[in-house]
Amino acid sequence: MKTGSIYSASDKSLFDALTQSAVTNQQLRNLFFQYGIVISKTTPRRQLAKFFSRLLLDYDAFQTLAALFDTGYRKERVTCIRVRSSATIDVYEAAAHRLVDTIAENGNSAKVVRKEGEPLRIEVTYKKFRFDRNEFRQIVTKKAEIFFEEKDDQVLITGPQNEDVDEWLKDLIADVQENVDDPLDINEVSLEQKTSPSIRTKFFTTLIRSIEGFSFVDVSDVYLHQPKNDTEEITEVDPVLNSTEGDTSDDGESESASPDVHISRAALRGQGVLVSKQATDLLAQGFYIARIVWTARTSYFDSDLYEFEAQFAEPDTCTMFSYVAKGFYPYKGDGEYAASRSQFTKAEDVRLGRLIEEAAHKVLSTLTETET
């Protein structure tokens, strides 16, 4: 099945779809009008949905319904790898063209863009099919831009962090490797070799204060992680099989064994989260930060409030580092900010993402120098 295709939905799926608030009254009227049917504003939605779901629908009708529930483009976290080798940007461009041809064979839209003074990039628009969703919410439109930029003696490859882009980049890097004699030296932000919870937490607490041109304000979300130690002896006890009828302890209470308990994740949200007693207690118990959301301001007195996020997608190993500039809260005056968050321009998105990535590498090198 090609990505983006949809099978014929059942009557119940049609009914469930049309009773959702995502379908407006005007859209419902347009659907009926395609079949030459005019509906009354006073007719209950459920009655209309029941009637329409019994009709024999054609391809265009299914496509119209699917478009109503398409979730559209969602901003994703970004990741970056640095590659050092003898490969020039022209080698990457040739590999990018071959990758684009492969992506297009699967029914997606992809192209390579190279303009003077701008990084080489691949633009992809594709559909993801989600079987775990309602038939008319199974198609998800996604966009991906992968940038290739020469910096010093490295090529920086930046793009969204998801399984699709990960696979494309693996293929592209393998292609580049085939066209150069020396091995590719790939450098990415990772704490896999630093298993100390305090060091892993220090990475984030230092990062949020290290973005060039910004001063830290507050942490609003923090996600703590504590992987289970596979080497520790864990006693699994079945409370039914291991109970003995009539056995009691000295105080008269029945003896029963408790199963092993391990809490691996905790999420805290609010103001001043990082300095809260709850966060402090959990960090003292061996938890470490795996994801964080924080706000910062520039040096201007009327600066907007910027919101950033950084995480390790694989928290057990602290690998697959990614980040995103989530948006900003416009400054209204008198120390107040707008309640709703605004989005950055594409150019500002790229600039801020680069600042986070550079800060992460600097912090990582600092941890390497100071860790004993």
User: Domain limits of the chain?
Assistant: 11-69, 78-187, 197-230+262-370
| Residue whose tokens read 């496509």 | 63
Whole-angstrom Cα Rg for the chain? 27
> pLDDT at position 193, please?
93
Q: Is 336 left (phi over 0), alpha (psi -120 to 50) or beta?
A: beta
> pLDDT at position 299, please?
87
> pLDDT at position 256, please?
44
Gap between the Cα atoms of 3 and 128, Å rounded: 6
> pLDDT at position 111, please?
96
Segments in the chain below pLDDT 70: 1-9, 59, 63, 66-74, 129-139, 230-261, 368-372
Gap between the Cα atoms of 278 and 267, Å rounded: 10
> pLDDT at position 337, please?
93
Q: For the segment 68-109, what is each residue's pLDDT rounded down to a tens digit?
A: 665 555 678 999 999 999 999 999 999 999 999 999 988 889
Supply the pTM of this predicted model.
Answer: 0.73
> pLDDT at position 365, please?
92
> pLDDT at position 254, please?
43
The per-residue b/e assignment along 25-37, b for 16 or more CB within 10 angstroms, e otherwise, is eeebeebeeeeee
Q: Is 142 left (phi over 0), alpha (psi -120 to 50) or beta?
A: beta
> pLDDT at position 156, please?
96
> pLDDT at position 252, please?
47
Residue 293: name the closest of 342, 362, 356, 227 by CA.
356
> pLDDT at position 74, please?
60
Q: For the segment 162-207, what is each residue's pLDDT rounded down to a tens digit?
A: 999 999 999 999 999 999 999 999 999 999 999 999 999 999 999 9
Task: Give phi and psi for 176, each to the nearest 5.
Answer: -60, -40
Residue 149: name the closest of 60, 227, 80, 222 by CA.
80
Rounded alpha-carbon distances, angstroms, from residue 272 to 211, 223, 269, 294, 337: 19, 14, 9, 10, 17
Residue 81: name the closest of 6, 154, 178, 175 by CA.
154
Q: Which residues pair with 111 in a beta bridge?
A: 123
Q: Say which CATH topology domain 78-187 has.
A: Double Stranded RNA Binding Domain (3.30.160)
